[in-house]
Chain A
Amino acid sequence: MVQSLDRLKESPSQTAGPYVHIGCTPNYCGIEQVFPEDLGSRMLKEETRGERIRIVGRVFDGVGTPLKDALVEVWQADAAGLYPSPQETRGKADPAFTGFGRSAGDMATGEFVFETIKPGSVPFKDGRPQAPHVTLWIVARGINIGLHTRLYFGDEGAANEADPILARIEHRSRVATLIAPKTVEGGIATYRHDIFLQGEKETIFFDI
């Protein structure tokens, strides 16, 4: 026998199930007396620095039906590329920006919406810049372990071309699944980003 590493195993994941909103966005599902507001429902304040944008989309299953019971979370840097996290050591992020958002998706259409700002660039481990991006995490009934993916911005062509993570993706035709095209809706820059769990257009999911 060799020595033991004495390491614990991570708690195994289980699906968030159909009622994830009770715990994560209770106000949204009609339980309004417990928490004053749903966590992650407001990413911005008046004084938050940066360009206001909206991220919208839906999550589709393998037969093309939009999920109406998904929960989508986003995590992103501020306009200067700093994370509002104790683990951020390069500087102090905008105190008026949470960096974290959570959307239950509309119960009728499944559309998720985030009112946020466009993030700045964050360095890769070797110091090269990454293209501006938002991390997404998706859970739902039928998803046994949360899915990590990223959103890159369609109007950042040169930065996306130079991004070290996008550059490593072997199947080049799949890179587009991570890039949200820009439109302007109601005067606000809007990035429409649908996520496909399966099929020809299957979104790239990461093992982080």
Chain B
Amino acid sequence: MSGGSFYQRDRRWHPPAYDPGYKTSVTRSPQKALIALDNTLSEMTGPVFGHDTLGPLDDDMILNFAKDGEPIGQRIIVHGRVLDEDARPVPGALIEVWQANAGGRYRHKKESYLAPLDPNFGGCGRTISGPDGSYRFRTIKPGPYPWPNGPNDWRPAHIHFSIFGQGFAQRLITQMYFEGDPLIWLCPIVSTIPDKAAIERLIAPLDMANTVPMDARAYKFDIVLRGRRSTLFENRMEGN
């Protein structure tokens, strides 16, 4: 892939920093305008992680924390492709994922939901996209859970994704939701995204063709990172 600058991020497509429906954003949102920074090498380059970073079970959350059996819950495969805005595959993208267990409980000191921990489920995994941008991992479908925002707000079942592309300007964290979950449309965090069509890009459909019969269902989740210009036709710099 060539190393030009990245297409401008569409800030109206992404959630705004400030959304009072998601209360924590109120004091954590910058109030001054972001300052435009024409990409330099510092933004166009980025860390790239080799396959030697990965252990054999990193992409298998069913087994990578198993102690005396497998975790309880619905066995699923999540797969898809990492693409850029020009629909070109992004190979070598490190994808880190984390999630609650089947009961909606995270393995974290600060987590207080009454649902039990699963002794065989850690809730973290990672993988690197292949030459065609494809990736997959195996896990347990996470449960929804209540969270302190409104008096009775619930998160839809979701998996957190952190993605490194080929430049640091492509760095992205997002969440994947599951087709058919009615909580998606009630969630104040989902609703920070202004456009319904944008929310739908984060909802993974059931993918029967990729299920493993008698074992695990599959969900497909494609990820789109920012596209970039070719190096051939860079703008001339303005003269200051």
Contact = CB atoms under 8 A, between A and B. Distances in A.
A75 B168 contact: yes
A23 B35 contact: no
Interface residues of A, number: 85
Given A22-B107, A198-B27, A206-B34, A12 B44 contact: no
A206 B126 CA distance: 28
A35 B58 contact: yes
A198 B58 contact: no
Interface in B21-66: 22, 24-32, 34-49, 53, 55, 57-58, 64-65
Contacts of A148: 37, 43, 169
Given A11-B225, A14-B174, A75-B47, A198 B168 contact: no
Nearest to B155: A17
A135 B171 CA distance: 12
B138 interface: no
Contacts of A53: none
A11 B34 CA distance: 20
Given A10-B85, A23-B160, A208 B37 contact: yes
Interface in A126-181: 126, 130, 133, 135, 137, 139-148, 150, 164-165, 167-169, 174
Interface in A93-123: 98-100, 107, 122-123
A51 interface: no
State the majority secondary structure of interface residues on B.
Answer: loop
> Which of B3, B84, B124, B237 has the most chain A CB within a 10 Å cutoff?
B124
**Secondary structure of the A side of the interface?**
loop
A174 B127 CA distance: 40
Nearest to A127: B237
Contact of B27 (A36, A63, A88): A63
Interface string A51-91: 00000000001110101010001011100000111111100
Contact of B224 (A11, A30, A99, A124): A11
A11 B24 contact: no
Interface in B187-229: 189-190, 192-193, 198-199, 201-202, 223-227
B74 interface: no
A111 to B, nearest CB: 17
Interface of A: 6-24, 26, 29-31, 33-36, 39, 61-63, 65, 67, 69, 73, 75-77, 83-89, 98-100, 107, 122-126, 130, 133, 135, 137, 139-148, 150, 164-165, 167-169, 174, 197-199, 202-208
5 contacts: A8-B224, A9-B13, A85-B166, A208-B6, A208-B9
Interface of B: 3, 6, 8-11, 13-17, 19, 22, 24-32, 34-49, 53, 55, 57-58, 64-65, 83-87, 94, 96-98, 106-111, 122-126, 160, 162, 166-169, 171-175, 189-190, 192-193, 198-199, 201-202, 223-227, 234, 237, 240
The 5 closest A-B CB pairs, nearest first, are: A23-B98, A142-B24, A142-B28, A85-B45, A100-B47
